[in-house]
Amino acid sequence: MATLTQALVIAFYVAMSLALVYFVHKVLWFVKFRRLQEALVADAERKVREATSEVLSAWDQSAKSSWSDASTGVDDEDPVAFVRRMEGRLLSMDRVLGDHVKVREWFLERLRSSPTGEVTDAICVLTMPRVDGSPSDVRLDVTFPRVRRPRPPPEDLYTLEVRSRYGFWRRALVFVLGAADVVYSSRHVARMSQNAEVPLGVIFRRLSLVVVILGAIVIDIAFSLRSRLIDWVGAALGPPPYLAGPLGSLGEALDPHLATGIALGGWLAVYGAIYFGLFLYLRHRSQVFLRRLEGMRERRQEDLDAIYEHHVEELFGWASEYAKTLDDAIEIARRQARLLIGRSARRLRRRLASDELVEAGRTVAADLFARLPESSAGLQDVATREEHSIRHQLWPRVEEMGYQVSLARTRAAWRRVEAGLAELRAERPDPAAAHGLWRTLAVIARMFPEVVDEASRVELDVAYEASVAELVARTNRELTELDGRLDELATGLGEQLAVAGSLLETQIELAEQAMEAEVAELAAELLEVREGARLEAMAFEI
């Protein structure tokens, strides 16, 4: 039993030693395999480059002939130079657009100087570039009319001569003799009534003085107030004599009538005080209007200046908003022009990276990828399915590693095609990269006949010839169309700017009419105040 156990242990260690030797052998085998593999791949890539150089030389000659036939009248040596030259021209056009001049500040500055006199000025708001020919300037020509001040109201509206038509003695008489004022008032009311616009209130106020007189008479008659007043004065004086002592015989003659005179004087004083109070009230009403009229006369220039400044300020507000719309229109035209130029530049780059090139590249890349181990969806692939001899298993033999060269060539070709397609997927593909992909496909078509057959190679050559021919023709057509579009933008913007002068003139006319309307309202108010003062003066006129 011990002998068997010892034999098993020895067998185990022998197996482990053999496994270790086998592992070390495989490590050395793998290191040698990788070195041979790297050498084979490097040699394959070198041969591919040598072969590529020969194939590219032949293809370049053919491409140059195709370009010469397609680019009649064009001095560029190849499509890439053509695209870069055209792109440079488009970029220079974009720089011509630049930032447009701000119209708002210029417009308001010129408008501020127009109140002193008419100003005519012009400004270049945008320079529209062209592919063929010199750029055209879009100009804004505006005549800024003078903003006229409104005509002031007539001078005589501010003046009113308030002077009674009656003399001093006539005016004094009515304060002590009511009958005289009845005559004057009746004649005065008759004159005032000839004017149909005289308010009834004014007539009634004038008649109030007559009412005072008539009221005094009615009260005297109804209540014998004057007789009672005489009796009250007589009782207060007592029995005569009153003036006989100081004045002698004249006093004796006046004593019987002294009580009557004092009573009548008191009566007239009370009546005169009431009458005079009403007179002062009517005169005060007239003075209110007169002071208001005088204040308006003193503020005459201030009112006119306020009207003018208010409407000029509104005019500037409108001008600021309108000039902003012009700035917006110019900016929109500038941006549209830049978008058109940018679109042409992007199309120019995309035109060399045509759909035919992209489709051919995808087809070739898919065929190449199908021949690589990476395309396998399982654990077995084209590399692991290769069968090798026992000698190769013992030590790597270059003679049995030819498939590694084929895989390296295929993988390098696939990566070049994929790299070219990745460049074409960019927003602005490089024309050199697109042209390089054409060259790469031409090389692959000749180096991998098992991938690209003869019919496909012919189609690829035909597609390239058609692509460069279409590049020149479509580019020329699009640049001509671009000039037309830019001309339309310039014309449309010019037409929009052409009405600026008419709109400004109309707005100034409206502002001046509004000023005249406010001055007319001021004149109407003046007339109303003056007429009120005049009518109230007529009411207290004695």
The conformation of residue 400, written as its DSSP 8-state character, comes to G
Locus of tokens 């006046």: 254
d(CA 25, CA 28): 5
> Own/partner pairs for 455-462, CB < 8 Å, 24+ apart?
456/363, 459/360, 460/360, 461/62
As a whole number of angstroms, the distance between CA 405 and CA 438 comes to 24
- What does the pLDDT read at residue 204? 62
Question: CA-to-CA distance for 264 and 243, rounded, in angstroms?
Answer: 18
Residue 243 DSSP symbol:
S
- Is residue 200 scored above 70 in pLDDT? no
Q: Does 153 score more than 70 pLDDT?
A: yes
Burial string for 270-281 (b: 16+ CB within 10 Å, else e) reads ebbeebeebbee
CB atoms within 10 A of CB 320: 14
Q: Sorting pLDDT into bands at 50, 70 and 90, what band is 111?
A: confident
User: What single letter denotes the amino acid at residue 139?
Assistant: R
Q: What is the three-class DSSP state of 138? A: strand
Task: Report, as an integer, the average pLDDT of 393-408.
Answer: 69
Is the pTM of the predicted complex or chain greater than 0.85? no
What helix, strand, coil percent values describe the chain, rounded to 5? 80, 5, 20
Nearest alpha-carbon partner for 384 in 407, 412, 355, 368: 407
Residue that wins the pLDDT comparison between 420 and 239: 420
The continuous run of DSSP H or E covering 187 comes out as: helix 178-193
**H-type helices in 224-248, by residue range?**
225-237, 244-247
Q: How confident is the model at residue 186 (pLDDT cuts 50, 70, 90)?
A: low
Which is more confident, 114 or 478?
478
pLDDT tens-digit readout, 41-96: 777 667 666 666 666 666 666 777 777 766 666 777 778 888 888 888 888 888 88
According to the model, what pLDDT value does residue 463 have? 79
